[in-house]
A = this chain, B = another copy of it.
Amino acid sequence: MNETPALTKNQSLVMSVLSEAKSPLSAYQILDELRPEGLRAPLQVYRALDKLTEHKLVHRIESLNAFVACSHAAEHGGEMVAFAICEACGRVEEFCDPVLQSRLAAWSHEHDFIPTRTTLEIKGRCAACH
């Protein structure tokens, strides 16, 4: 299995900002947080995000063009991850569901489709916001 290698300086900086955030941040928001640390260009953030996403320490929320720290304490398998996004408070809940996963696998198999990545994002209102 793939070990998670030690993070580089920029990766650590980006990771720490995301870990403390209460909701997803855009790359440019992360950059702003890290200007005091000396980061200047978007690419520095995007490169770190690429690696962190590869290691699954960070997930990209496609419908927001933003990023969140993974909330699964440790290792993902090859599992699909889903997100519930509150439109009121901005918080995101990450979850896995074996039924969803197997149903999608079944669809793919039936249609001779080889999946590489699944995006599943539900927007709405969380328990705290209604």
Residues on A close to B: CB < 8 A? 62-63, 84, 86-87, 93, 95, 97, 99-100, 103-104, 107-108, 111-127, 130
Contacts and interface: CB of A to CB of B under 8 A. Distances in A.
Contacts of A103: 97, 99-100, 103
A62 B97 contact: no
B127 A62 contact: no
A103 B113 CA distance: 22
Given A97-B107, A100-B100, A107-B95, A113 B118 contact: no
Say how many copies of this protein the assembly contains: 2
A4 to B, nearest CB: 24
A122 B114 CA distance: 9
Nearest to A118: B122
Given A95-B107, A99-B103, A100-B103, A113 B121 contact: no
Nearest to A121: B119
A113 B127 CA distance: 6
A116 B123 CA distance: 6
